[in-house]
């Protein structure tokens, strides 16, 4: 059976001290509790090792928000998959629309990043999702299919079965405009159907597919009640322990 996952994406927020305080508060709020989902927090690189050391990583997994598309070597400023893994992190968020839009990440780079993540034992949370323009033209399914075709659908079935997917429509990110439950369910059902066509029904049934975009404590329970929505990738509402815990509790 596929896992339910609630993953936070802190983006470029929190100093090291603030991040440690947030992670510790979340860790304490989960003491003695067995959540009905896997819990992941995606911190900036510099927080990874300290956060992983400060929390129970069996209960809260730690994610990076990016990795280099190279193994190692003279690539100033980059951080490799092996380095991320060595901090105690076990996930990496890849292909976020902010990285595609502001840092020019292409399908070609993302292919390499996904492959390196998997080769180093990190679980990718692979992001996809369309702009408002594409949604208004009603071509979102073709667009998302193309994003997957060019990247993770090139993987072997064995590798593909190790990752999770997050559908994040760009128009819902940080806007307070959540996709309707029907819009989110329809897209995730579509994604699962194209996984089934490519890799077979078993792998499709076992792939965790998350929704992201203005997901919060108020709308999480309804979103998570949908048959194809296996959790959320949470931005703003992951920056306060109580808000994030309330989303975890929505399962
Ligand atoms: P918000 O939850 O702030 O809309 O961000 C979603 C997101 O981009 C998570 O990766």
**DSSP per-residue letters across 93-131:** EE--HHHHHHS---HHHHHHHHHHHHHTT-EEEEEE---
Q: How many helices (H) and strands (E) are present in the chain, helices listed first?
A: 12, 8
The answer on pLDDT for 53 being more than 90 is yes
List pLDDT tens digits, range 178-234. Answer: 999 999 999 999 999 999 999 999 999 999 999 999 999 999 999 999 999 999 999
Encoding tokens for residue 241? 């322990």
Active-site residue, selected from the candidate residues 47, 96, 98, 105: 96
- Please name the residue whose Cα sits nearest to atom 2 of ligand 1: 235
Cβ neighbours of residue 76 closer than 8 Å, sequence gap 6 or more: none
Q: Kindly indicate the confidence band of residue 51, based on its pLDDT and cuts at 50, 70 and 90.
A: very high
Is the CB of 185 inside a 6 Å radius of any atom of ligand 1?
no
Residue from 228, 129, 249 nearest 182 by CA? 228
Q: Kindly indicate the confidence band of residue 129, based on its pLDDT and cuts at 50, 70 and 90.
A: very high
- Please name the residue whose Cα sits nearest to atom 7 of ligand 1: 235
Gap from CA of 224 to ligand 1 centroid (Å): 16
Active-site residue, selected from the candidate residues 98, 105, 130, 168: 168
List pLDDT tens digits, range 195-207. Answer: 999 999 999 999 9
Would residue 47 show up in a list of annotated catalytic residues for this protein?
no
CATH code assigned at 117:
3.20.20.70
C-alpha span between 25 and 16 (Å, rounded): 14
- Please name the residue whose Cα sits nearest to atom 1 of ligand 1: 235
Q: Reduce the DSSP state of residue 31 to 3 states and report it.
A: coil
The answer on pLDDT for 1 being more than 90 is no
Is the CB of 118 inside a 6 Å radius of any atom of ligand 1?
no
Best mutation site among 214, 217, 232, 240 for ligand 1, i.e. most ligand atoms within 8 A of its Cβ? 214
- Ligand 1 atom closest to the CA of 214, numbered from 1: 4
Q: Are residues 187 and 138 in contact, defined by beta-carbon separation less than 8 angstroms?
A: no
Gap from CA of 68 to ligand 1 centroid (Å): 22
Gap from CA of 175 to ligand 1 centroid (Å): 9
Number of domains observed in the structure of the chain:
1
Q: Kindly indicate the confidence band of residue 166, based on its pLDDT and cuts at 50, 70 and 90.
A: very high
List pLDDT tens digits, range 11-41. Answer: 999 999 999 999 999 999 999 999 999 999 9
Best mutation site among 9, 177, 237 for ligand 1, i.e. most ligand atoms within 8 A of its Cβ? 9
Would residue 98 show up in a list of annotated catalytic residues for this protein?
no
List pLDDT tens digits, range 67-91. Answer: 999 999 999 999 999 999 999 999 9
Q: What is the pLDDT of residue 176?
A: 86
Encoding tokens for residue 139? 């071509």
Q: Kindly indicate the confidence band of residue 54, based on its pLDDT and cuts at 50, 70 and 90.
A: very high
Residue 211, domain extent: 5-248
Q: Reduce the DSSP state of residue 73 to 3 states and report it.
A: coil
Burial class (CB in 10 A: 0-12, 13-18, 19+), 190: middle
What average pLDDT is seen over the chain? 97
């Amino acid at each position: 059976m596929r896992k339910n996952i609630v993953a936070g994406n802190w983006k470029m927020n929190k100093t090291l001290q603030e991040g440690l305080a947030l992670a510790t508060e979340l860790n304490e709020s989960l003491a003695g509790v067995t959540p009905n989902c896997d819990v992941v927090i995606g911190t900036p690189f510099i927080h990874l090792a300290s956060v992983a050391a400060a929390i129970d990583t069996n209960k809260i997994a730690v994610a990076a928000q990016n990795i280099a598309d190279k193994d190692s070597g003279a690539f100033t400023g980059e951080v490799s998959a092996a380095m991320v893994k060595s901090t105690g992190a076990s996930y990496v968020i890849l292909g976020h629309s902010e990285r595609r839009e502001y840092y020019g990440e292409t399908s070609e780079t993302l292919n390499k990043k996904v492959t390196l993540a998997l080769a180093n034992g990190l679980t990718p949370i692979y992001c996809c999702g369309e702009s408002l323009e594409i949604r208004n033209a009603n071509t979102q399914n073709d667009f998302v299919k193309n994003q997957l075709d060019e990247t993770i659908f090139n993987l072997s079935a064995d590798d593909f079965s190790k990752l999770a997917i997050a559908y994040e429509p760009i128009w819902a990110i940080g806007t307070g405009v959540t996709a309707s439950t029907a819009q989110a369910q329809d897209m995730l059902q579509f994604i699962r159907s194209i996984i089934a066509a490519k890799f077979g029904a078993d792998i499709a049934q076992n792939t965790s597919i998350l929704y992201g975009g203005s997901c919060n404590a108020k709308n999480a329970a309804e979103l998570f009640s949908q048959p194809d929505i296996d959790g959320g990738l949470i931005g703003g509402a992951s920056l306060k322990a109580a808000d994030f815990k309330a989303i975890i509790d929505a399962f």
